[in-house]
Amino acid sequence: MSRKRASFFIDGFNLYHSIANTRGFNRYKWLNLWSLCGKFITASEEINNVFYFTAYANWKPSSASRHRAYVAANQCFGCQPIFGKFIEKDRVSLVECSQPCAPKNGKNKCNKTFKIHEEKMTDVNIAVQLLKTCVTGVCDAAYLVSGDNDLIPALVTAHELCPTIDFRVVIPPNAKARSLTKACLEHGFKYLSINEKHLAASQLPNSVISGYKTYTRPNHWT
């Protein structure tokens, strides 16, 4: 009997920041995503595909370079990246200030304009790919790796359209996902949590060689 096909949908920044913001977990950033996914499938399943949703912070060259190497290393193991983007936006500081940089309306606020970078398209890309994969019959089980409550509508809609597919949520360490876990209970989705043992057992080799290129774990990710 053939195994069930499991597809994974990884919310890249949600997973990354959950690891980065957990004390002592910095050494687990060089993560083999395919291997990690393998820790959660059932005995009757096999991984069909792993979709990794992310975006490059190109205004930070060193960070973007590490990120590109990490994505390329995971592609060597079968992961398929799907990219969003960052857009630049102006913000106005509302910090209390006795001598505002830009006085306005007589209020003692700084009012200085500064720029931020906001990630766009990731949630939409996850929702679209989740629905596409399920509706086209590419998978028998769909795993959402995220603690983002905003993805509940996509998960519920996919379940409504494809009730025969098993839907599961894999929650990153220390993610605040109360609404997401509540939705799982309400709709009969199983949810699991990533712990330190999963991360420790799912690390990429320190150097990943692909053709003439070598992708190496950053020194401070140890």
pTM for the model: 0.88
Tokens coding 133: 């994969």
**Tell me, what's the pLDDT at 121?**
77
**Tell me, what's the pLDDT at 101?**
62
Give the percent of the chain with pLDDT over 70.
82
Tell me: pLDDT of 39 over 90.
yes
CA distance 212 to 108: 59
In the chain, where does the domain assigned CATH 3.40.50.1010 lie? 4-84+121-216
Q: What mean pLDDT is reported for the chain?
A: 88
**Tell me: the pLDDT tens digits for 167-184?**
999 999 988 888 999 999
Residue scoring higher pLDDT (106 or 191):
191
Q: Are strands 85-92 and 79-83 parallel, antiparallel or unpaired?
A: unpaired
Architecture of domain 4-84+121-216: 3-Layer(aba) Sandwich (3.40)
Tell me: pLDDT of 75 over 80.
yes
Residue 211's contacts (CB-CB under 8 Å, 6 or more residues apart) are none
Q: Is the dihedral of CA 16, 18, 19, 21 positive or negative?
A: positive
**Tell me, what's the pLDDT at 72?**
96
CB-based contact 188:164 (threshold 8 Å): no
Tell me: pLDDT of 111 over 90.
no
Tokens coding 13: 């920044």
Residue 182's contacts (CB-CB under 8 Å, 6 or more residues apart) are none
